[in-house]
Chains A and B, each alone.
Chain A
Amino acid sequence: MLRVAIVGCGKIADAHAAEIQRIKGCEIVGVSDSEPLMAQQLYERFPVKAYFSDLTELLEKAEPHVVHITTPPESHYPIAKLCLESGCHVYVEKPFTLVEREAQELIALAQKTDRKITVGHDGQFRHAMRRMRALVQTGFLGGRPVHMESYYCYQFGDSGYAAALLGDKQHWVRRLPGKLLHNVISHGIARIAEFLTSVSPKVIAYGFASPLLKRMGEKDIVDELRVIISEDEHTTAYFTFSSQMRPSVEQFRVYGPQNGLMVDLDQETLIKLRGKKFTSYAEKFVPPVILAKQYIGNLTRNVGAFLARDFHMTSAKKYLIESFYRSIVEGSAVPIPYREILLTARLMEAIFLQLGDKHLAAPAQPALELETRLTTT
């Protein structure tokens, strides 16, 4: 039985506890929060054996094999370090760390102590993303990706978190180097990082506060971001983060030399984009039929997954956690390669560096070329 602990008992910890209890072969032996009441409320609502307000006590008394870190990001590094040093495997919620250097150190420490570590990029394991990955591995694209587009949008109006952030000048998100962006864009960036092979992608970032935020007198938060990423003059990518564009989409598109793929994370659909064109007017009539057929196929899959009780809003988190646990128990590869975790951290750091402290309308400095060698698994 794998002994699991959760550190940090806020909103996201609920999703972890809910998914962990659905996984066979593990038990939550303890939860911890510096606020004892928060630890207690999680303990009371889930099958948890004990609760603590001190991390060291949790590690000593509960003796977990795996620790899930669901605290605010600024504490990820010290807590993960302590857990690794204590002999635990570690699942760190996104964003992995505040800066790339911390990410490198944690992964190096995990390798040195022969422990495993992963990051909560569960969006990578949504049903449609998994199907897309399988297709790419069969060579559907016809070679290395030529171009990618990753959209990650965010609606302030729908989020209690956003209201809390905008209303609180002391909110912890404001202390992150990339502020709001730091806490939310890693899912969208990781999708691009997965398909980059270079260790030195070029990054050009452009960010600004939307007119909505400006009207609210908000000066510190960038909620509109456009990024161009390129490597080796072969593969390029656009990343878009927007709080204002409608529809508010979460999509990933990857185009190869022969075909492309489009994943809509909101609708959980995967669409094959055919490279070859039909002759003459056939191009106007046949592809819509093919697309309609694909959408019906997606609908059927989604309904099937729902009927099979595998379509929870957080089912991707369960998949990632389960895969991570399997990698621990079986000694197999971690579900998210360390290279991808590090490259995501690197791309994010490059973006935040260019946005600078004052979030200038134009890039604060020339496109950053990253030279440091990436550690690989």
Chain B
Amino acid sequence: MNQTEQDDFVISFDDRILVTGATGFIGSRLVGSLLEHGFRNLRCFTRHSSEPGRVKWLSGCNHGEARVEVFKGNLLSAADCAEATRDVAAIFHLAAGTGEKSFPSAFMNSVVTTRNLLEANLNNRRLKRFVNVSSFAVYSNKEKRRWNVLDENSPVEMRPELRGEAYCFAKVKQDQLVAEYGRKHGIPWVILRPGVVYGPGNRAITGRVGIDTFGLFLHLGGSNPIPFTYVENCAEAILLAGLRKGTEGEVFNIVDDDLPSSRKFLALYKRTVRRFPSFYVPHALSYGLCYLWERYSNWSGGQLPLAFNRRRWHAYWKKTHYSNEKLKQRAGWTPKVPTPEGLMRYLESCRNGEGHA
């Protein structure tokens, strides 16, 4: 990479960068992107329980000019956070409590860990960026009309605890915390909110398309575009928006171009990966079912958990368009992997049963 590109960034190629969640689906691609751009001083925070193969892959990146240090620790430990963030100029914080159904667990693994990292950097004068990777899950979409454009100005869920989704609650609180530390302590933050990150190794069909219930797939998405972002495009976006000059204190949504509809994606998936029975639930009906489920859940005191409710319907199944204009204009990002190619790679990996790198 050349000097011109380095001038666009808030740190130099030799400055130390900390990546949390470095063995994860996006994190491992981000490490690859950073090295590709010429950043050569990386510290990768991994858990003690991280899959050894992925840790080995990270260690293998440490060759030539690139220094890739694997730091094993626990983000719940203030001491580990202090040691891991020593002398870092930028932090990409990707580690989070994904897949957690319990609110306290998701909160602890997303918010308490983030607070520990932020606290560890209160006196870090080298720190130029704290890049927090959030999610589309934080957006409410409730007050917007159908086919509205969801962008960075869209309202965030005000009562995330009522979504019945631990991940949403944790991510909303995490974003609030980062902004609060920026306001109170001058931590220079950027928040990235990817849509549905897909690519080889992530085999699950996103809930925005539908849900598998008792062997029958309920197709809920219909004609909705699915806000996909191919994992390498996403990693590139995180890098560019995170380190570009002039993005401090900004939120960026990450979503690719040429998004397929849920119906198109499902047909493609069935044709390429495997066939299974599915049943299309029209939007009016899915809204009604979510409403009834919510009413019953509240009436019964949670005998059925609040897994389906109107807030969730608005967030995931309402007809919505997505914009990536801000990311393109402010961070100079364009998706390197076009959606048709990304989908082909993804579906082939699903068919072959591949795990991620």
Are both chains from one complex?
A: yes
A134 on interface, CB distance cutoff 8 Å = no
Q: Which residues of B contact A336 (CB under 8 A)?
A: none
Q: How far is the CA of A205 from the CA of B296 in the complex (A)?
A: 47
Judging by beta carbons under 8 Å apart, are A44 and B161 in contact? Answer: yes
A11-B105, A14-B104, A160-B102 in contact; A41/B303 too (CB < 8 A)? no
B100 on interface, CB distance cutoff 8 Å = yes
Which of under 10, 10 to 19, 20 to 34, or 35 or more describes the interface residues of A?
Answer: 20 to 34
Judging by beta carbons under 8 Å apart, are B111 and A306 in contact? Answer: no
The B-contacting residues of A in range 35-86, CB under 8 angstroms, are 35, 37-38, 41-42, 44-45
The B-contacting residues of A in range 290-333, CB under 8 angstroms, are 306, 309, 311-312
B103 on interface, CB distance cutoff 8 Å = yes
A160-B100, A166-B49, A168-B48 in contact; A37/B302 too (CB < 8 A)? no
A212 on interface, CB distance cutoff 8 Å = no
Which A residue's beta carbon lies closest to that of B109?
A: A164
Q: Which residues of B contact A169 (CB under 8 A)?
A: 48
B3 on interface, CB distance cutoff 8 Å = no
Q: Which residues of A contact B111 (CB under 8 A)?
A: 37, 41
Q: Which residues of B contact A166 (CB under 8 A)?
A: 49
Q: Which residues of A contact B99 (CB under 8 A)?
A: 160
The B-contacting residues of A in range 1-56, CB under 8 angstroms, are 9-11, 13-14, 18, 22, 35, 37-38, 41-42, 44-45
Judging by beta carbons under 8 Å apart, are B74 and A170 in contact? Answer: yes
Judging by beta carbons under 8 Å apart, are A309 and B301 in contact? Answer: yes
The A-contacting residues of B in range 204-260, CB under 8 angstroms, are none
Which B residue's beta carbon lies closest to that of A12?
A: B104
Judging by beta carbons under 8 Å apart, are B104 and A22 in contact? Answer: no
B310 on interface, CB distance cutoff 8 Å = no
| Interface residues of A, dominant DSSP | helix
Q: How many whole Å from B105's CB to the nearest CB in chain A?
A: 6
B108 on interface, CB distance cutoff 8 Å = yes
Which B residue's beta carbon lies closest to that of A33?
A: B104
B198 on interface, CB distance cutoff 8 Å = no
Q: How far is the CA of A306 from the CA of B303 in the complex (A)?
A: 8
Q: Which residues of B contact A164 (CB under 8 A)?
A: 49
Between B47, B100, B111, B300, the greatest number of chain A beta carbons within 10 A of the residue's beta carbon is seen for B300
Which B residue's beta carbon lies closest to that of A45?
A: B161
A167 on interface, CB distance cutoff 8 Å = yes
Q: CB < 8 Å: which of A18, A42, A163, A306 contacts B104?
A: A42
Judging by beta carbons under 8 Å apart, are A309 and B48 in contact? Answer: no
Judging by beta carbons under 8 Å apart, are B303 and A312 in contact? Answer: yes
Q: How far is the CA of A352 from the CA of B284 in the complex (A)?
A: 58
Q: CB < 8 Å: which of B161, B300, B302 contacts A18?
A: B302
B346 on interface, CB distance cutoff 8 Å = no
Q: Which residues of A contact B169 (CB under 8 A)?
A: 41, 45
B93 on interface, CB distance cutoff 8 Å = no
| Cβ contacts A265-306/B at 8 Å (1 or 0 each) | 000000000000000000000000000000000000000001
Judging by beta carbons under 8 Å apart, are B301 and A37 in contact? Answer: no
Q: How far is the CA of A163 from the CA of B301 in the complex (A)?
A: 30
Judging by beta carbons under 8 Å apart, are A167 and B49 in contact? Answer: yes
Q: CB < 8 Å: which of A38, A168, A306, A311 contacts B112?
A: A38
The B-contacting residues of A in range 313-368, CB under 8 angstroms, are none
Judging by beta carbons under 8 Å apart, are B104 and A13 in contact? Answer: yes
Judging by beta carbons under 8 Å apart, are B300 and A10 in contact? Answer: no
A35-B112, A37-B112, A37-B115 in contact; A11/B102 too (CB < 8 A)? yes
Q: Which residues of B contact A42 (CB under 8 A)?
A: 104
Q: Which residues of B contact A10 (CB under 8 A)?
A: 104-105, 108
Judging by beta carbons under 8 Å apart, are B49 and A309 in contact? Answer: no
Judging by beta carbons under 8 Å apart, are B108 and A14 in contact? Answer: no
The A-contacting residues of B in range 28-82, CB under 8 angstroms, are 47-49, 74
Q: Which residues of A contact B100 (CB under 8 A)?
A: 160
Judging by beta carbons under 8 Å apart, are A45 and B301 in contact? Answer: no
Judging by beta carbons under 8 Å apart, are A167 and B47 in contact? Answer: yes
Q: Which residues of B contact A309 (CB under 8 A)?
A: 299-301, 303
Which A residue's beta carbon lies closest to that of B77?
A: A170
Q: How far is the CA of A220 from the CA of B188 in the complex (A)?
A: 43
B328 on interface, CB distance cutoff 8 Å = no
Judging by beta carbons under 8 Å apart, are A311 and B303 in contact? Answer: yes
Q: Closest 7 CB pairs between A and B? A: A167-B49, A45-B161, A309-B300, A11-B102, A41-B107, A22-B301, A11-B104
Question: Which A residues lie at the B interface, using CB under 8 A?
Answer: 9-11, 13-14, 18, 22, 35, 37-38, 41-42, 44-45, 160, 163-164, 166-170, 306, 309, 311-312
Sample of 15 A–B contacts (CB below 8 Å):
A10-B105, A11-B104, A14-B103, A35-B108, A37-B107, A37-B111, A42-B104, A160-B99, A160-B101, A160-B105, A167-B48, A169-B48, A309-B303, A311-B303, A312-B301
Beyond A38-B107, A311-B303, list 6 extra A-B contacts (CB 8 Å): A10-B104, A14-B103, A22-B301, A160-B102, A164-B49, A309-B303
